[in-house]
Structures are given as C-alpha cells and as structure tokens.
Chain A
Amino acid sequence: MGKQDNITLPDENGRFGDFGGRYVAETLMPPILELEKAYEDAKADPSFQQELKFFLDDYVGRPSPLYFAERLTEHASMDNDGAAKIYFKREELNHTGAHKVNNCMGQILLARRMGKTRIIAETGAGQHGVATATVAARFGLKCIVYMGAVDIVRQKPNVFRMRLLGAEVRSVESGTATLKDAMNEALRDWVTNVGDTFYCIGTVAGPHPYPAMVRDFQTIIGHETKAQILEKEGRLPDAIVACIGGGSNAMGIFHPFIEDKDVRLIGVEAAGHGIPSGLHAASLTGGKPGVLHGNRTYLLQDEHGQINDAHSISAGLDYPGIGPEHSYLYDIGRAEYVSATDDEALEAFQLCAKLEGILPALESSHAIPETIRVAQELGPDGIVVINISGRGDKDIFTIAEALDEDISAGTEG
C-alpha cells in the first residue's frame, strides 16, 4: 500500500490506499460518475464556493466558536498534576444543532446546480435527517428521509422536527432497523429514481466521490479550528479528539491537521457494552476490512462476510462501518483510534452538562473521557481540542431512560 501524502487522496479511483472505491450496482455507476464530475466542476467554481460561504456564514451561523472549557480543564487537573487546556470546537451551535448541516448545505447546493429536484437521505440519530430536511426546505426541494424503525423510537424529537420541516420520514423495518438499513433503503430509492434524485449521504462513507466530497464540506471545522487556536494560543494543539460513527465530524476536524505531524489525531469509536461483549460499534477496534455501502473499509462482520449488528446507545454511532479514509489513517498510523462505552458516554454527558452548562450530543459525549485522559497525560502545558459535534437536547429521552427517570409529559403536576 502506498503511504503517499494523504492530502492528495483519494486517487482517481476513489481509493485511500486499499480503502474506498466504488462498489455499487451498475445502475448507480453512471450517476456516481456524473456526481463526481459535477462536484469537481463545482469545487473549482468560485461562484459555487462563494454561495456556499454565504449560506454557511449567514444561515448556518459559522464560524462556530472555539471555547476554552475552563471548568472541565479544572476537573481534569484534579487528582493529577495539572492538565492540558481543553478547548471545545462548538459545532453544536450550528443551525440544526450539529456539524451535519455543513455537508448538507454543500450537497444540496450541488444538487440544485445539477438540476435535481428530489433529495433523499439516511439518518441514524436524526441529525443528518434534520439538517437535510432543513436545507431542502430552504431551497424548496422535496425531501425524503429514511430512518430505521428502532431509531425512530429513540429519536422521536428529531422525527417530529423533520416532519415540521416538510420532509417525509420513511420508517425502515428491514434488517436491524437502524442506520445501515436506512442506508440500504436510501440506495434502493436512488437506484429506482436516479433521474431526478440526489442522494445526500451524511457521512464520509459510501461510493466515491462521497467520502472525499463530504470530507471537503466538513473540513471547514478543521480550518476554523486551526485559525482560532493560533489566534488564542499562538500554536497548534497537541491533540484533537472526535467521536466516530461514519466519521464525518472527525474527518472534518482532522483533515486540515494531517500534515501537522505533531498534532495527535484521536478518533473515539462507540464501544457499546464493551468491546469484549461483542455488542459495540467499533469498526476499527473490533472489525476487519470488507465491502459495504459502496466502499471497502473496516466493518463489523462474521467469518462468512455477513455484517454484524452494531450496538451503541447513540443512534448516530450505531453503524457497522467507518469512512474509508479513517481506515487508511488507521492503517498508516497517522490517527489513533480508541473507544468509549455507553456508560462512559452517559457519565461524560452529565459531567459536561454540570461543569460547562453544555449538553453535548451522546455521540460527542463519547469523545469526552479520552479528551480528559489525554489532557491529563499532556499536563498543564498542553492543549487539546475536542469536537463537540452536536448538542444533546435530542438525547434527553434516551438519557432519562438510561438513568431510570420518567420525564414523560404530565409528571411535573
């Protein structure tokens, strides 16, 4: 495998080393080749970039702040000889409450440019679905969101938000009725309606050009972080930590730092009930390379190549694969990948709420324990940035259930 400079990847076949590619049925090959060409054209067109910047600034609310989390830093310092300064990249402050909208804005502007009138998307936690429905509403485009039946139950507020935004939410009952099945169903829709439909994939996975395109739309997170930390601290951070399901928020913040070899890049996968239990969503830590959803990447699978169910309390991380560029960074050792369990994420959620007055998404909460650990390891001279990729309002019902508290309507009276 070529260990070439990552900035130039993927190659013309959509490969990041041995990962990525275009593993799709023939019906979808022409549309993904058309998409690739349209994206390359748009990328090079200053008017497209200008339009994107306008909407990211004034509609999404960028740039998102880089916030010094003083009390979490103090907490990390206790029982330790000091700790590195912890900064939050506050993607949860974006319109719709997560980083997902950065990518949706890019893809839907591209869809408009391509003359597509129907937008489809898959969603797990509902954040990508909400972001897609939001941007589709803004541009008056028809929007259909596929969501696993299990996720519809655990993410009710987001389902209602999507409906309020005018999107049709289609429940997916097949397979495990979670994110991967929603993606299967969206691919089936696309294969059926290729003429007028644009498939807005929510993460850095899928067939080429999606992993590269979604990454590009998300790298604004990393570019802003770099400028902000240089302004505040006069130097780059020692480490950047982000949670990983498919890996779009992590790739967005990691990518602009790949060449900065002194900056540790740490991805946190969802360990569910713990890696040894087999009930987790940690594709790198507990999986092996295979082919799913259009790309070759690390997957949770059995010895016969059947895909194993992923398990995580967080619907947004409950996916048996990971973006191919993460598989590549893992194999070449440029990024480190660790994991956090459901319980660790729940505890971190509460800690962050109480210390910082910020409810991080359950997804983002997975990255907090590792951030604290790295801050302690680095000591008081260090700087660590965590991507708070989304806000946790959508998760309060799941968290209440996990904490055995009843917050259903009427209990206050």
Chain B
Amino acid sequence: MTTRIDATFSRLKAEDKAAFVAYMMGGDPDRATSMQLLSAMPEAGVDIIELGIPFTDPMADGPVIEDAGIRARKSGTTLSTVLEMAAEFRQSNSATPVIVMGYCNPVHQMGYEAFAASAKASGIDGAIIVDLPPEEDTELRAAFETHGLALIRLATPTTDEDRLPKVVQGTNGFVYYVSMTGVTGAALSKPGAIKDQVAKVRKASGLPVVVGFGVKTPERAKEIAADADGVVVGTAIVKAMHENSVGGALDLIRSLAEAAHS
C-alpha cells in the first residue's frame, strides 16, 4: 500500500513542485487553538505537517520553539494529547501526512511499541525523534516497521560521507536535511552549498530530501525549494502563531507555501 508520504511526493513530482513542510507545536498555546491551526494547514498549502511534541528540555531547539513547548505544557499538553490531536485531524483529512517531532523521553516513557501502536491508530505517518540517532533507535525502528510507520532521520552538515549510509539505512518516507549546525530558528548559513548536500543525501537514501532549520522567509523558501524536494519552516510559523494567533500563522503559511510551490 502506498503511504500518504509517498503519495504526496509523487503528486508533487508530477506537478513539478517541491513539498512545503510546516512545523507547529502541538498544544500551543492550548489544544483548541492549536487544533484550529492544524486543521487549516492543508488548505493554506501545507503538504506535510510536522506536529511538535512539547518537552521540558528541547536541546536542539532555539528559544521560540522552547517557549512554545512551555506554553503547550502549561495548558496540559502531553504526548497523548498530541496523538489525540492527530486523530481528530484525521477525521476530516485523509491525505495530508502528519509527522510527529520531538524528543526521546516522552516516547521512552510511553514505551516504543505502545507509542508506535498509538501513533498508527491516531493516523500519524511517521516520527522524527531528535535525540534518537541510528545507534539508539533499534527498538523504535522495529516497532515502526511492525506498524508501517516512517522513521525519519536527520542528516546534518557534520554527517560525513562515511556516516551518511548509516544515517539513511532503515529510514523511509523522506530524509530531513538540517541545513546548518545549530538549533532551530538560528540564522541560516551561506546559500548555495545546500544543493550538493541534498544531492548526496538523495543519492545515499533513494528518498526525497527536505531541508529545514533557519528558513524564515518566502524568498528563502523559494531558493531552498529549487534545490531540494521540500522545504521545512518551523520557528517562523511558531512565532507568527504566538504573535498573531491562527490568522497570522496562516497568512505566513500561505505566502511560504506559494513561494515553495512556485
């Protein structure tokens, strides 16, 4: 059976478009408001949704996403809440892939198998667990294989050619190329170098490669979209959501999606 992720990339390829991947923090600032944004994302042009799981110690995130996690936790959001939000989303959308993104401990606490089963039942398509490198994700990978979920890994500028095969082995759906060394939302390093990196990762993995970390504007999204199979925006959307609520976030998403698809 073709997965939602594969179907999405096939459709976009046929249309000669890059994927626009949007990140939002689940439960920020509360479940109801966050649910409004989640539900409206596909219509605003989002091809793949990354739904953040709040965690107390988000070591790979900058202050914007960390603060979003704090707001989400304050309103009672847990990993289970995020899975429930995905299930609610699935009641009215059966096409847009939803990837949950977060840190290992909440998943570890739920149990890898229980998490995989629950994610599948909630209509989730895959997960990115930031602090679970290939060396440590054997158990989760097995559970994901059993349930037909995509375990999406990160490749970074420090991932050299010796290591790349290990990073892409056992991964599916797509590969997320982190375009710089740093946390989410930091300034993007020099443009241009990305195209070669994307080509290397694509060749090693045989999968679509999306690029993220540091993409904030439609102009930049357009540049990245020209070099990769997709572009991810997170921090800028989370910031717009915080400053201008759902309407503001959707305005930004529309302009980013348009740029990524052009």
Pair A301/B133 contact, Cβ less than 8 Å: no
Residues 22-56 of chain A, each 1 if its beta carbon lies under 8 Å from chain B, else 0: 11111111110000000000000000000000000
Known contacts A192-B186, A291-B104, A291-B105; A24/B133 CB under 8 A: yes
In the complex, the answer to whether B106 meets A306 with C-beta atoms within 8 Å is yes
Residue pair A191, B131 in contact (C-beta under 8 Å): no
A184 engages B136 (CB within 8 Å): no
Give the shortest distance, in Å, between B121 (CB) and chain A (any CB). 18
- Distance A318 CA – B170 CA, assembled complex (angstroms): 39
Dominant secondary structure at the B interface: loop
Kindly state the interface size class of chain A when it binds its partner: 35 or more
Q: Would A23 and B136 count as touching, CB distance under 8 A? A: yes
Q: Are B57 and A175 in contact (CB under 8 A)?
A: yes
Closest Cβ neighbor of A30 among chain B residues: B158
- Other-chain residue from B135, B153, B178 in contact with A13 (beta carbon distance below 8 A): B135
Q: Is A194 an interface residue (CB 8 A)?
A: yes
Partner of B59, one of A30, A184, A306: A184
Q: Given the complex, which residues of A lie within 8 Å of B55, measured CB to CB? A: 305-306
A26–B181 CB distance below 8 A: no
Alpha-carbon separation in the docked complex, A193 to B104 (Å): 23
Minimum CB–CB distance for B194 against chain A, Å: 16
**Which chain A positions have C-beta within 8 A of B133?**
22-26, 29
The proximity string for A residues 171-187 relative to B, scoring 1 for CB distances below 8 Å and 0 otherwise, is: 00011000011001001
Contact status B153-A305, CB under 8 Å: no
Q: Given contacts A294-B131, A304-B80, are A26 and B153 in contact (CB under 8 A)? A: yes
Taking CB as reference atom, which chain B residue is nearest A21?
A: B136
- Contact status B158-A194, CB under 8 Å: yes
Taking a contact as CB atoms under 8 Å apart, the answer to whether B159 and A26 are in contact is yes
Q: Encode A297-313 as 1/0 by CB contact (under 8 A) with B.
A: 00101011111000000
- In the complex, which of the residues A22, A191, A307 contacts B136, with contact meaning CB atoms closer than 8 Å? A22
Contact B163 A194 (CB under 8 A): no
B59–A25 CB distance below 8 A: yes
The prevalent SS among residues of A at the interface is mixed
A193 to B157, CA, bound (A): 12
Choose among B78, B108, B186 the residue with the greatest number of A CB atoms under 10 Å from its CB: B108
A291→B108 contact, CB < 8 A: yes
- The answer to whether A191 touches B155 (Cβ under 8 A) is no
Contacts of A192 in B (CB 8 A): 181-183, 186
Residues in A with CB closer than 8 Å to B50 are none
A292 within 8 A of partner (CB): yes
Whether a CB of chain A sits under 8 angstroms from the CB of B44 is: no
Contact A301 B109 (CB under 8 A): yes
In the assembled complex, the Cα of A299 lies from the Cα of B104 at a distance in Å of 13
CB distance from A271 to the nearest CB of B (A): 22
Chain B residues with Cβ below 8 Å from A193 are: 181
28 contacts between A and B (CB under 8 A): A21-B136, A22-B133, A22-B135, A23-B131, A23-B132, A23-B133, A25-B60, A25-B130, A26-B154, A26-B167, A26-B178, A29-B135, A29-B163, A175-B56, A184-B58, A188-B62, A191-B59, A191-B181, A192-B186, A290-B108, A293-B57, A296-B108, A301-B105, A301-B109, A304-B79, A305-B79, A306-B105, A306-B106
A residues within 8 Å of B by Cβ?
Answer: 13, 21-31, 174-175, 180-181, 184, 187-188, 191-195, 290-294, 296, 299, 301, 303-307
Extra pairs beyond A26-B159, A305-B105, A306-B55 (17, CB < 8 Å): A26-B178, A27-B154, A27-B158, A31-B158, A180-B57, A184-B57, A188-B59, A188-B62, A188-B182, A191-B182, A290-B105, A290-B108, A291-B103, A294-B131, A296-B108, A304-B79, A306-B105
